[in-house]
Structure 1
Amino acid sequence: MSNKTLAQWSAMADGLQIEARAFIDGEYVAAASGNTRPTINPANGATLAHVASCGPEDADRAIASAKAVFEAGTWANLAPADRKKVMVRWAELIEANAEELALLESLDVGKPISDTLNVDVPSAARTIRWSGEAIDKFYDEVAPTSHDSLALVQRLPLGVVAAIVPWNFPFSTTAWKLAPAIATGNSVILKPASNTPLTAIRLAGLAKQAGLPDGVLQVLPGPGGSLGSHLARHMDVEGLTFTGSTPVGKTLMEYSGQSNLKRTFLELGGKSPNIVFADANLDKAAAMAATAVFYNGGQTCTAGTRLLVERSIHDAFIAKVIEHAKGWMPGNPLDPATSMGPMVDEAQFNTVAEYVRIGLDEGATLAFGGKRVACVDGGHFHEPTIFTGAHNKMRIAQEEIFGPVMTVIPFDTEADAIAIANDSIFGLAGAVWSRDINVAHRVAKAVRVGTMGINNYFGGDMTVPFGGFKQSGNGRDKSMHAFDDYTELKTTWIEFE
């Protein structure tokens, strides 16, 4: 927690020394081509830094280094307890540099400084510490064989893993990928989103400072189209983990099949249903309905963008939600009082504005918001927006907008709510609000999503897995289950003479 004011954060930003080079084989280096790409502050349009724009040549060099250190066993063969010490030290260094990391994330992504400092950075540190602490408690198996044989089942690291992370939660999502992959002994090539690379670059330097051997973690900022596809097709990359859009995830799966069938784990899009029954605690449900959509400007894969409301309470409940939406008007991200910042860039702002137009054309009612807000000159600020009079076949109910846009859909019965909730290509998250334990559990079980809240939204921590059903992806981040994605099972069968 920091007591810094807007003026103090702004002054710190003015004096910030930003590292913008790639991190390959333990050193910060320029891209082989010398190319750079500006990274832009979405709150004011200012250029923060000219970041190395890596290409296939850089990837090949990084992969060769990662493979060499893996095959040498420098990290992979280290005792789990010794790997743990390095990862715990890494987490401590994140905490020691929390203000710098939070400021980088806020400037690069447009996230409110109160969120980056109090949520994103502590979450990343906890993820890395938790995974490090867990790794020497992760046992192999002895299978139940006959008396004259012994079968050992071991979990072994994959080798070189490519991690491609998104722009909406770049720091915390990066930690979700790196922590289990590195803890289990893999070498990782991290490709941050091209428009939000700054905390990933800084994180690599802290990893080296913590004692991670050179080549175990490398960071390659660069374009997804060329660099990302090269990593995904590379024959020496044995694992690929990705968080991002469903169309890109499908393409990466194709690349796996076209190359070496690298194990590919995807956390993709969502259009999550937030279901409110008439008997719920409506004040709490209304406050969380607004949070579920407007937190992080709606740029959240789990956002509860479909609000399903029992028809008998529809009007009164939406009035409560609108009152809470007023508290999510965007502002300067460096102001500790700001709850919602800008869209990440102009393209994302234009996408949100286009969906507002689509919603109106489809016949939905714009009950709140829907316009640009002038908070800081040059920024991409959009009002929290609520559509009513909608049905589930509308594009605003079926397609992921990735912005602060809520679509309200009425329902009449429990079966109706379940049918609407499941009528989606996605299956990432959702929630149900009811004081009836039978209704709550029946609905929570019936809705086909990876995470379902009962009388809460955004529930969960490092102890539980996170991921989706259907076209929301496969594999799981967080918890001990994440280790499954980064390890192979090997059986050794011994027969006694």
Structure 2
Amino acid sequence: MFDPQSPLSDQVGAATRAFLAKPLRLLIGGHWVDGTAGETLATSDPATGRVLARVAIGDAQDIDRAVAAARAAFEGPWSRLSGFERARLMRRLAALIEANVRTFAELEVLDNGMPIALAERTSGMAAQMWDYYAGWAERIEGTTTTPPAFVGEALTYTLREPVGVVGQIIPWNVPLSMACLKLPPALAAGCTVVLKPAEDTPLSALLLGELIQQAGFPDGVVNIVNGRGATAGAALVAHPDVDKISFTGSSDVGKAIVRAAADTLKKVSLELGGKSPVMVFGDADLDLAVPGVAAATFFLQGQNCMAGTRIFVHESIHDRLVDGLVAHVAAMRIGHGLDPATDVGPLISARQRSRVEAYIADGIASGATLAAGGEALPGPGNFVQPTIFTDCRPDMRIVREEIFGPVMAIQRFGDDDLDTLAARANDSIFGLSGSVWTRDLSTAHRMAGRIRSGHVSVNCHGAVGPNIPFGGYRQSGWGREFGREGLDQYLETKAVTVRL
């Protein structure tokens, strides 16, 4: 359990300490219950290794219970609420999240390791997601169209109806944000949900469950089943009474989900891996590009799917950009996320740290030049220095594979035409995000159009928001989240023709 005598305890509020001290169970049908098998799992601070809490976890039987509760709510009280009533509940929840932003942020830091400033910002954005989709709950509309001629005089219209019971599986890298980009559009559409948090970071989802109850959502509308992917996650994907799965995580697991969902032909949306290109042209503003490119790679210690880890830089500014990045990285402070001065926190686990170290070793062995970082820090915690490689080739693993860690791979380009540069940028199995850095608006728009990714930013990276669709091409996934497109993932269209 969290140690109130630890050196950082004075930076953790009473609400956080109280939350960690109580039993942390599963939310099924409006009740907090233990898993059927009575099993628990420890969740730890990745900066210290200290156990924060033990959390009840579920298995296939608990998924059965949760799906049954979601189905009963979908066919019962939730179906009788209008969009305006759903919106009222969602706005009430948004206010509760805003009132508890500091507690959410502290739990995110302790459970995930991210710096506190980032945790507060993402927790605030989580509340915005509920407000944004509350507006859509009030605006779900069908259309009228021309009926078929053989029917005669008639009225044909469409209805937009909820998909039904949805299974949502979220990753560990931004736990609260991931829950709050999936739940709001599903509930706005009128679906009910079984949410499986990542076993490494369950805490913020459980606090969110408490606030969902406080906001007055009917029992069973949101069910939260902590558990391992191989048991609870697999049972949720295969369950015959789940109408849709929404998953964020690795491409390999996404492919396994598609195979498992095939037997029931349930709908599937996937937000998967990335290896995003960052194109820095010779006329780029280096005062803007240096910190921007560094943030593109090292945001969340590189543990995010849209990380800009493949850097393409024009030879005329290559050395200046690299010198600026090396100096920028040297000034970044590595430490516990609760320290306000921390820029870079720990990786999520010792396993992930070892994975990143292996990629760094492979980069060196492959002939890339190590310009900065490259080492894990001694002592407790899963800390790895922000790492910069130059002289990279397209065939290197550090260039081609998603590392999910703080590793940047830089390649040069010359006076190539935009089609040639775009071919280099698109030489990947992924297509999630990307960015272009230039003062030339023509180059910016033309390059943005050529990059085969679901999201491209100019003179910034990863400019996402509740209203901006986000998702990938190729093996970065199926479908979109955020915006109206995110709502569409949870709706069916029914056509009705009435002969008059």
Per the normalisation by structure 1, the TM-score is 0.96
The answer to whether 1:217 aligns with 2:219 is no
Match of 1:454 among 433, 437, 458: 458
Among 83, 98, 116, the residue aligned to 1:95:
98
Alignment of 1:165-180 (within 5 A): 165-180=170-185
Larger CA deviation: 410-419 vs 315-324: 410-419
Is the 2:419–2:450 contact (alpha carbons within 8 Å) kept by the matching residues of 1?
no
The one-letter code matched in structure 2 to 1:149 is: A
Superposed counterparts of 1:364-403, under 5 Å: 364-374=368-378, 377-403=379-405
Amino acid in the other structure paired with 1:186: C
Which of 344, 361, 379 is residue 357 of structure 1 equivalent to?
Answer: 361
- Partners in 1 of 2:486 and 2:153 — Cα distance? 35
Partner of 1:488: 492
What CA distance in whole angstroms lies between the structure 1 residues aligned with 2:287 and 2:359?
29
Match of 2:288 among 284, 288, 308: 284
In structure 1, the residue matched to 2:85 is 82
Instruction: Letter of the 2:117 partner, please give it.
Output: S
Q: Is the 8 A contact 1:76 1:157 kept in 2?
A: no
Q: Is the 8 A contact 1:353 1:371 kept in 2?
A: yes
Task: Report the CA distance between 1:330 and its aligned residue.
Answer: 1.6
Matched, 1:56 2:55: no
Measure how far apart 1:220 and its partner are: 0.4
Provide structure 1 residue ranges, at least 5 long, that are not aligned to the other structure.
none
Distance 1:354 1:35, change over 3 A: same
Structure 2 counterpart SS, 1:140 = coil
**Rounded Cα–Cα distance in structure 1 between residues aligned with 2:162 and 2:355:** 40
> How many Å separate the matches in 1 of 2:78 and 2:276?
40
Q: What RMSD in Å do the two structures reach over aligned CA positions?
A: 1.5
Amino acid at match of 2:473: F
- 2:344 corresponding residue in structure 1: 340
1:228 corresponds, among 227, 233, 238, to 233
Letter aligned with residue 379 of structure 1? G
| CA-to-aligned-CA distance 1:200-234 (integer Å, 9 cap, x gap) | 11111101110110000000000001111111011
1:67 aligns with 2:68: no
Residue pairs, 1:123-202, within 5 angstroms? 123-145=125-147, 148-202=153-207
Q: Is the 8 A contact 1:131 1:179 kept in 2?
A: yes
Asked if the contact 1:142–1:152 (Cα under 8 Å) also holds between the matched residues in 2, the reply is yes
1:106 aligns with 2:109: yes
Amino acid in the other structure paired with 2:255: K
Cα deviation 1:111-155 (Å, max 9, x = unaligned): 1111111x1111110001110122102221112446822111111
Indicate conservation of the 8 Å contact 1:76/1:184, yes or no. Answer: no
Q: Aligned equivalents of 2:15 and 2:420: distance in 1? A: 51
Inter-partner Cα distance in structure 1 for 2:269 and 2:13: 41
Equivalent pairs counted in the alignment come to: 487
Q: Which residue of 1 aligns with 2:252?
A: 247
Q: Is the 8 A contact 1:293 1:304 kept in 2?
A: yes
For 1:450 and 1:262, how far apart are their aligned partners in 2? 24
TM-superposed deviation, 1:77: 2.9
Q: Is the 8 A contact 2:209 2:224 kept in 1?
A: yes
Once the 2 structures are TM-superposed, how far is the Cα of residue 16 of structure 1 from its aligned partner?
Answer: 3.6
TM-aligned CA deviation for residue 423 of structure 1 = 0.2
* Deviations 1:306-351 (CA, angstroms, capped at 9, x unpaired): 0110122111111111122223332111011212110001011111
Q: 1:339 to 1:173 in 2, by over 3 A?
A: same
Distance 1:12 1:336 in 2: 18
CA contact (8 A) 1:330 1:373 kept: no
Percent identity of paired positions between Structure 1 and Structure 2: 41
User: Which whole-Å CA distance do the structure 1 matches of 2:412 and 2:339 have between them?
Assistant: 37
Matched, 1:442 2:446: yes
Shift of 1:107: 0.4
Letter paired with 1:166: P
Which of 114, 119, 128 matches 1:116? 119
Contact 1:329–1:383, Cα closer than 8 Å, also in 2: no
Contact 2:41 2:57 in 1 (8 A): yes
SS of the residue corresponding to residue 312 of structure 1 reads: coil
Equivalent position amino acid for 1:184 in 2 = A
Deviation of 1:373 after TM superposition, in Å, equals 2.2
1:6, 1:336 within 8 Å by CA — same for their partners in 2?
no
